[in-house]
Amino acid sequence: MLERTIIQSRGCKNVTLPNGKPGFQFQIRNPNYRGVQASLVDGIDIKLDGLSYEFDSALWTLQGETYRLEQLRQSVDVRWQLDELATITLPVEQPIQCGVHDLFVCVFIRRPYIPAQFSRSPFKTSKKVVVVDKDDSASNIKLGVSTYSYSGDINTLMTLEDVMADMADIGASGLEMLSEGDIPGYPNISSTWLDNWFRLLDQYTLQPTNLGTWVDTNMWLDRDLTVAEGVAQIQKDLQIASQLGFSSIRPKFGVTSLDLLPHPIWREAVERSLELANKLNIVICPEIHSPTPIKHIVTQGYIDFIEETKTDHFKLIVDTGIFQTAPCDDGHEGIELKPGQKRPPFLEPLKVPMADLAEILPHVHFIQSKFFEVDDQLNDLHVPWSDIVQTLEANNWSGWLSSEYEGRRESYRGRDQIRRQHALLRSLLNQNNH
């Protein structure tokens, strides 16, 4: 689906022009209320980070063909359809730096049914756009994205394909998904949806990583889930994960305390599912999530289980919210605060030290890159990414950093923040490996 804004989030990148010089590329939708003959397109004024470019400076790509403005004016059989994005390629002196940039455009379209002195209609708009560097690091750390980051937008303003296209556009290669959020008809999967799932994975060159699942131990008011029912839920999700190509699941068990002690059935339910996990080669991963720190009975209980069973199919997911160093008061949907309470307990900064992370890394299979806001200068206001990346690389950790945006849910904010976080992470990885 096209974004309502004229300038689109997707497609902002550096390119090399045929003459070997640098170019900056972005996409715009047709701002008119109807499609037009391309000869009616009359240029685009551009201002990028305060530097202005004349209306005829850029190249236009429509329907796979690239034109100078004069060629568009003389065209006969070229159209700019209302549902078609135009790719604008602007010659620049130097490649645009990875990060957030101010982009203003004024698109001119001639409308012959308006008197001549007014027919050259200007459509003005501006947007902060994010350029993400390509991956040229030698790091063992791979970048992915969780569909959770697009909550509120997905299924309303965006489709699953839009989310996958966004991921591919920033060079992410791993897709983390929510079983009960993104699979229509869960737990029953139609063959039509399944065929389209694999088509999209191929089209956008994405690898399924972790499937978020739930074991709702308090599903009913009058009784808890039994161990047998917990086993059935985990094994059902293992089968679905295998069917869709995921390599791990995160079963979120119901909790019995404010510091997230998992319901007592977790241990036996997992143990009885290890044989199937081994057969399907899928790792079962509980999540270390704020307000539970690393030095805690919950985390130690999971590590004890790993050491006692000597399994390779039960490891940890670390949610980077536990490293939060500053409070986030954006609130949290579905949580009612008590009078005088500024934020939910799990948004209080735990400030877990990097030494604690380093200690458990041999047991960590996957990292959910939780964050709330990255500003225009690529500063994360709450999570110390430089320290995290340095710790992972110093300990030769190999695996996925999967972006999980959990800030404010204004329309399209998630997709913009994901681009910012990937620009930040890519810069850190490229910097540390050069």
Q: 433 pLDDT exceeds 80? A: no
**Residue 228 has what pLDDT?**
98
Q: Answer for the pair 317, 250: CB distance below 8 angstroms, yes or no.
A: yes
Annotated catalytic residue, options 289, 365, 382, 422: 289
- Band the pLDDT of 267: cuts 50, 70, 90: very high
Strands (E), 255-388: 283-284, 287-288, 316-319, 364-371
pLDDT in tens, 175-224: 999 999 999 999 999 999 999 999 999 999 999 999 999 999 999 999 99
**Residue 250 forms beta bridges with which residues?**
212
pLDDT in tens, 381-406: 999 999 999 999 999 999 999 999 99
**Residue 331 has what pLDDT?**
60
- Band the pLDDT of 287: cuts 50, 70, 90: very high
**Residue 60 has what pLDDT?**
98
Q: 432 pLDDT exceeds 90? A: no
Q: 134 pLDDT exceeds 90? A: no
**Residue 260 has what pLDDT?**
93
**Residue 82 has what pLDDT?**
97
pLDDT in tens, 347-366: 789 999 999 999 999 999 99
Indicate if 289 belongs to the active site: yes
Q: 434 pLDDT exceeds 70? A: no
In DSSP notation, 173-232 reads: -EEEEEHHHHSTTTT---HHHHHHHHHHHHHHT-EEEEEEEEE-TT-SSS-PPPHHHHHH
Distance between CA atoms of residues 158 and 411, nearest Å: 10
Residue 231 burial by CB count (10 A; 0-12/13-18/19+): exposed, middle or buried? buried
Residue 345 or residue 271, greater confidence: 271
SS3 assignment, position 121: strand
Q: 327 pLDDT exceeds 80? A: yes
**Residue 334 has what pLDDT?**
75
Domains of the chain: 13-131 (2.60.40), 141-432 (3.20.20.150)
- Band the pLDDT of 142: cuts 50, 70, 90: very high
Token reading at 21: 């010089």
In the chain, the amino acid numbered 240 is: I
- Band the pLDDT of 137: cuts 50, 70, 90: low
Strands (E), 63-153: 65-67, 79-80, 85-91, 99-110, 120-131, 141-146
Distance between CA atoms of residues 402 and 395, nearest Å: 19
**Residue 189 has what pLDDT?**
97
Q: ∠378-384-389 over CA atoms, to 5°?
A: 90
Share of the chain above pLDDT 70, in %: 99
- Band the pLDDT of 136: cuts 50, 70, 90: low
pLDDT in tens, 54-72: 999 999 999 999 999 999 9
**Residue 261 has what pLDDT?**
96
Which is nearest to 27 in space by CA: 19, 39, 15, 40? 15
**Residue 338 has what pLDDT?**
82
- Band the pLDDT of 84: cuts 50, 70, 90: very high
Distance between CA atoms of residues 201 and 245, nearest Å: 10
